[in-house]
Structure 1
Amino acid sequence: MSFVSSVFRNTLVGLLAALFALSAYASDQADFFSAIQFNHVSSLPVMLARGVDPNAKEPLRGETALILAVHENANDVFDWLLSLKGVDINAQAKNGNTAIMLAAYLENSHAVTALLERGAEVNKTGWTALHYAAMSGNDVIISALLEHAAYIDAQTPNGDTALMLALKGNKTSAVKLLLDQGADPTIQNNQQQTALDMAKKLEFRGMIELIQQGVDQFDQRQHSP
């Protein structure tokens, strides 16, 4: 065999080996995501030992294993993933959602609490976990986020605040909680609407009175010595 032929043969063998390894890795990664969807935590350590990346993103929504576990309400898998050293708790899916944002939206207080204890970021540009909690109207999660320094008047890309989102969903208890915690009812969104404007437009009579009281209380706090 000539030297050139030998080099070509060795190169080809190397390429085939690399392709086989890549194919095996892709298969393991797919199995990893499948196990997460079905909350099969017992099979995950073996896959991790074979080199699966817990921070890799599944192709459909770009969710990491941790986000996917929240999405599928796979709490056993979620707890195991959260215990791993190096897992990215603040990774974002294609739509910008993080694990704590999705947990807030799905009202998974277990996941929210665990992520907060691990130091998950609660404030970011655009949509936040507090926005999602307000939409869901979950007072427990709203309170937990505020206790961990969530910015109460953060605005979505459309300019809506958590107060506005709770109002739109007619979540009376959440609106009252946000007002009591100091939410600013005078902020305008990108359509120059305040929370009171929205309440009047939506004809939520009880909400109109609640927001008006909030405006009065906010004004008093602003002008108190």
Structure 2
Amino acid sequence: MVLATWFSIARAGAYEDFFAALERDDARTVTALLQRGFDPNSRNPEGQVAFFLALRQPAPAVAEALWAHPQLQVDAVNGVGETPLMMAALRGQVGWMRRLLERGARVHQEGWSPIHYAATGPEPQAVELLLDRGAPVDARSPNGTTPLMMAARYGSERSVALLLQRGADRRLRNQRDLDAADFAREAGREALARQLAAPTGR
């Protein structure tokens, strides 16, 4: 009984130490815990996967330590279905996106998908990479929102232009009956809204 209690306390301490080390980008502590058998796919109390958190922080040294672990699950999802690829796309971390895709991360999933996150973020290259790998240009979220809508409100105007060049349909509307021009208008991007609302001949 005493031995079991000691192991329980040790596991709890390792858990706390692991996520504290992740927050301060302490790769040495994280590596030591992994070598002692700590699960690289552990989730924090909010259900966030460790590698997802390392990309979000960002904690680049810890991300590398986790990446080196053979049991790392590149498509591990958090409580709302987000993957590390989605966070890398949102942050514009194109290098990490390439590495994740090369290791087998899914380029697309139904519902909110990596291309939505890339379009929301600052880096058009993230959008381009996913499109080049086969992500659908008009992917629909659960409420019908498209990557073009997300880019129009939150992302780079270069991402908007890229999506249009790749065939994104500016006429699509989501469940709120909003199109990409409406999304731009809600963000106060009036010039972009006028561009998106202009007749296309399609």
Q: TM-score range by the shorter chain?
A: 0.7 to 0.9
Q: 1:45 aligns with which of 21, 25, 31?
A: 31
For the residues of structure 1 that align with 2:136 and 2:168, how far apart are their CA atoms?
9
Q: Which AA in structure 1 matches 2:18?
A: F
Q: Which of the numbers 48, 55, 61 marks the counterpart of 1:76? A: 61
Q: What is the number of residues matched between the two proteins?
A: 202
Cα displacement string for residues 4-26 of structure 1 (whole angstroms, at most 9, x for unaligned residues):
xxxxxxxxxxx332121121012
Shift of 1:95: 2.8
3-state DSSP of counterpart to 1:207: helix
Residue 96 (structure 1) aligned to one of 70, 74, 81: 81
Unmatched tracts of structure 1, length 5 or more: 1-14, 220-225
What residue is the counterpart of 1:36 in the other structure?
A: 22
Shift of 1:202: 6.5
CA–CA distance in structure 1, aligned partners of residues 60 and 154 of structure 2: 27
Larger Rg: 1
Q: How far apart, in 2, do the equivalents of 1:177 and 1:214 lie?
A: 18
- Letter of the 1:142 counterpart: V
Q: Could you say if the C-alpha distance between residues 210 and 36 of structure 1 is closer, same or farther in structure 2, counting changes exceeding 3 Å? A: same
Contact 1:133 1:141 in 2 (8 A): yes
8 Å contact kept, 1:35–1:44: yes
Unpaired segments ≥5 residues, structure 2: none
Q: Is the 2:121–2:155 Cα contact (8 Å) retained in structure 1? A: no
Mapped to 1, the partners of 2:11 and 2:178 lie a distance apart of: 52
Percent same amino acid at aligned positions? 31
Deviations 1:52-74 (A, max 9, x none): 11111111x21222111112111
How far apart, CA to CA, are the structure 2 residues paired with 1:31 and 1:107? Answer: 29
> Over the residues paired in the alignment, what is the CA RMSD in angstroms?
2.2
Matched, 1:153 2:144: no
Provide the C-alpha distance between the structure 2 equivalents of 1:66 and 1:78, rounded to a whole number of angstroms.
Answer: 6
Deviation at 1:40? 1.5
Specify the code of the residue in structure 2 equivalent to 1:40: D
Decide which of 166, 174, 181 is 1:181's aligned counterpart.
166
Shift of 1:208: 4.0
Normalized per residue, the structure richer in helix is 1
When normalised by structure 2's length, the TM-score is 0.88
Equivalent in the alignment of 1:122: 107
TM-superposed CA distance for 1:196, in Å, is: 4.1
State the secondary structure of the residue aligned to 1:215: coil
For 1:197 and 1:35, locate their aligned partners in 2 and report how far apart those are by CA, in whole Å: 43
1:62-114 Cα shifts (integer Å, max 9, x gaps): 12221111121111221221121121111111232211111221222232222
Query: Does residue 1:24 correspond to 2:10, yes or no?
Result: yes
Match of 1:134 in 2: 119
After TM superposition, the structure 1 stretch with the greater mean CA deviation from structure 2, 177-186 or 104-113, is 104-113
Could you tell me which amino acid in structure 1 is paired with residue 9 of structure 2?
Answer: S
**So what's the TM-score if we normalise by structure 1?**
0.80
Aligned partners of 1:92 and 1:98 also within 8 Å: yes
Name the structure 2 match of 1:165.
Answer: 150
Work out the CA distance in 2 between the residues paired with 1:105 and 1:41: 23
Structure 1 residues 199 and 55, CA gap change in structure 2 (3 angstroms):
closer
